[in-house]
Chain A
């Protein structure tokens, strides 16, 4: 079985074993998600026709993703005409190098960052810090995770697993602030620390939720106003964006922004939805002098090349599939070991980082379909988990599995042999307790967490025959 596992899989198994038995943490996660579903349902119900809106959203993203080259070029043309610079990065190394070179060339010292999962994906902060730049995450959840030295737990709610007392202890330790039990006071501590950062930073780095082709803009969705400040105050703005984020028209956002908010947090619209089309324009009184957009491929084209799963690139990263997933709720975000957690992460990570190393994520699913049902852009998430399982097995069949199936087929086609085999079941039941739970137990994967039922003393077939015989005997 050793060739069938990977370091990522072993880590996953270990972490899943630990987190599923961590009841307090599971309670924290459950509490954090408690109001989400009702808020989402309430807001979704105000739509005249959510299903039709969802089909339209899916159609818009299908159009964009299936003409990705044209729309990216259109974006580039419009954006550069207004003084923006576009850099195309094939991989994370190229993206990191570009941003580091830019920061060096412009004598940048301090960098403020608003939330960007692409930044996590390419490990941008580590690279910038290694080059001597100060980088501060400004989103409250990301700020907390940065202080804690931990990756985000959930790509929309980065520190949803932490209780307020843990955050208070962290602030006390790292910032020297007095302990408090109030989320409001904790938020105000972060506010005080971060406000100076915006004014002092030379460079602001953001992600983007959408790239708008027809007007050459990027669109950023947030609740706190930290992104508004990150890209409003410093003199250089860099946006690091996945190539799949395109929508054809600015007007498409009239549908996608309310849907992102409803699916993501249950809001009608998120606090700040801002579109940026270039650096400070003539006649404007503020804004950055330079605006760079880094378009990141980093294996997205690999997923694009799979027409069956291409719609996974329609994802608008609302996080709804994580919030409803029974697996996510039990194993938590860090167990995935990926930038993008939950069902959508399990679909796309094997394409980004290798099918054989990450196929176990597609196995960690009950296939209940809650993710597919909740997805605002109609991605067939749980079917894609099945597609990954099928592709992984076809590419590298499990050792001995085909032999096992052949033996099974052989047996099932021969009733006499099958009947003979069932006679041994009670014997198996008798002997199994001797090895149960030990390395010799052939059923160890099952019996380590579950009971294995004893075989019935006689088979259904023999019981049925006996019953029939009695019946015909009685009628005579």
Chain B
């Protein structure tokens, strides 16, 4: 047993020995017209979405309601800034955690000067970010079929900004709403090829738990609120 990889050869040896006898496939997947089923066929079985952007938006918005995500359709960046300013005033925010990006920077420049900005791009103090009132991020994409927001390190200020502050604000464009996870993975694969970010996370609603008597409580560890500001 080498210290670096452990009992590698022994484990692999037992696996190969065990697999010498084949096991039957009890539930063969249904073959679509073109032979072996591929990930593209998942769409035929999963919940339907509809081909147009309007249909995708309609489903996404319906699921946000169920999930208790706050979807705010904004006419332009000024409207998004106005909504965010209202949230900050109502919540008595002192500090907003955020990262630099084309949407976040445009939004940030329209926010009141009194709100302290904590940019995470060049590293940050964990305690300060933990104490901030909200985290503002962009996202990779949105998923209509599941009502999810997909964040990654490069798109959303790293691993922690979208989950440590108690209120997560996402600024996104309507055209970012994709059909399903299959399209989401294909889009990420095309963008990053073999150089994926170290984290890809699909966020579906605010943090939740049902651990006590299976009763839903929001904000177990992550954000208690998730607000999606959707630009045209």
Contacts and interface: CB of A to CB of B under 8 A. Distances in A.
Interface of A: 28, 31-36, 46-50, 52-56, 58-60, 62, 65-69, 72-73, 82, 85-90, 94, 98, 138-141, 144, 157-160, 162-164, 167, 183-184, 186-188, 190-191, 194-195, 198-199, 215, 217, 223-226, 228-229, 231-233, 243, 249-255, 257-258, 265, 267-281, 283-287, 291, 294-295, 297, 301-302, 304-305, 307-308, 310-311, 378, 380
Contact of B18 (A167, A190, A304): A304
A463 B94 CA distance: 92
Contacts of A163: 213
Given A46-B47, A94-B6, A224-B220, A73 B198 contact: no
Given A98-B6, A286-B160, 5 more contacts: A62-B23, A87-B6, A164-B212, A187-B209, A225-B222
A56 B37 contact: yes
A68 B23 contact: no
B18 A305 contact: yes
Interface of B: 1, 4-8, 10-12, 14-19, 21-30, 37, 39, 41-42, 44-48, 63, 99, 120-124, 126-127, 130, 145-148, 153-154, 157-160, 163-164, 180-182, 184-186, 189, 196-215, 217, 219-223
A311 B23 contact: yes
A157 B215 CA distance: 12
B41 to A, nearest CB: 7
Contacts of A164: 212-213
B7 A90 contact: yes
Contact of A281 (B25, B39, B153, B206): B153
B203 A89 contact: no
Contact of A88 (B8, B22, B37, B160): B8
Given A50-B45, A253-B181, A287-B199, A69 B19 contact: yes
A54 B155 CA distance: 33
B175 to A, nearest CB: 21
B214 A36 contact: yes
A380 B24 CA distance: 12
B26 to A, nearest CB: 6
Residue of A252, A254, A305 with most chain B CB atoms under a 10 A cut-off: A254
B44 A31 contact: no
Contacts of B204: 267-273
B91 to A, nearest CB: 17
Given A258-B46, A285-B158, A287-B153, A225 B163 contact: yes
9 contacts: A88-B6, A159-B212, A186-B212, A223-B220, A224-B209, A273-B202, A286-B159, A301-B15, A307-B24
Contacts of A308: 23
Contacts of A167: 212
B186 A89 contact: no
A258 B181 contact: yes
Contacts of A265: 210
A69 B12 contact: yes
B153 A88 contact: no
A32 B214 contact: yes
Of B157, B159, B186, B208, chain A has the most CB atoms within 10 Å of the CB of B159
